[in-house]
Structure 1
């Protein structure tokens, strides 16, 4: 018996395409990094630190329940991002819950020079 997580992964290029679609609110990015949020983020991302995420998850679900895709990530999306994605989804929701493969680290390596995709980038925190 294998374990199938209740979410799928999304690649950085797939997410970049969704973030650039400014005419619709098709995606909400939830960044669960803690103090490592400093130094840049995906444009429009909401920071909900993992250290108090459990207390805020119900509020987040209500706030973004009309958004078709919710993408969670942390620095590498190996622990905090996937853990947050598992807690978020209402079983009756039509919302698609995704985790950003390679997290912000992978995303910023590709797009840190694109202000349409990355805000407040500070190279000092990422090399």
Structure 2
């Protein structure tokens, strides 16, 4: 069983993620946005929207789809509950499958520190990093 817990899940800052997305090969990273009805006002370019409410039955598909990714980033609005929970569920199911299949990956799973709320404060209006951004929805905070 994995020794990763909510408390010790690795984090990535918004600046580190932005830098990774600006590299010539951003395809080695996958971003999973687990916001539910609060998935409004924009999203990180190239992110996959997988609402936390549907995550349980989507995880096996995600594991297969993301097998070739070096890094998988999970986030929600603040990355305090849904994002870390989703990352932990992904890690546990991935590790279970790998044990059964006797495989190993070097994939790193991280959580976006501060979630989309912090992301949009700095990168919301950057069209290279954020899509469908609606500044007026964020004007007065989350």
Query: Same fold judged by TM-score > 0.5?
Result: yes
Cα distance in 2 for residues equivalent to 1:4 and 1:85 = 10
Q: Give the structure 2 partner of residue 26 of structure 1.
A: 28
Out of 100, 108, 121, the residue aligned to residue 112 of structure 2 is 100
Q: Is the 8 A contact 1:29 1:45 kept in 2?
A: yes
Cα distance in 2 for residues equivalent to 1:20 and 1:76 = 23
**Could you say which structure has the larger radius of gyration?**
2
Q: Give the structure 2 partner of residue 120 of structure 1.
A: 132
Structure 2 gaps of 5+ residues are: 96-103
Structure 1 gaps of 5+ residues are: none
Cα distance 1:7–1:74, how it changes in 2: closer, same or farther (>3 A)?
A: same
How far did residue 24 of structure 1 move? Answer: 4.3
3-state secondary structure, aligned to 1:21? coil
Judging by fraction of residues, say which structure has more helix. 2
Root mean square deviation of aligned Cα: 1.5
Q: How many residues matched?
A: 125
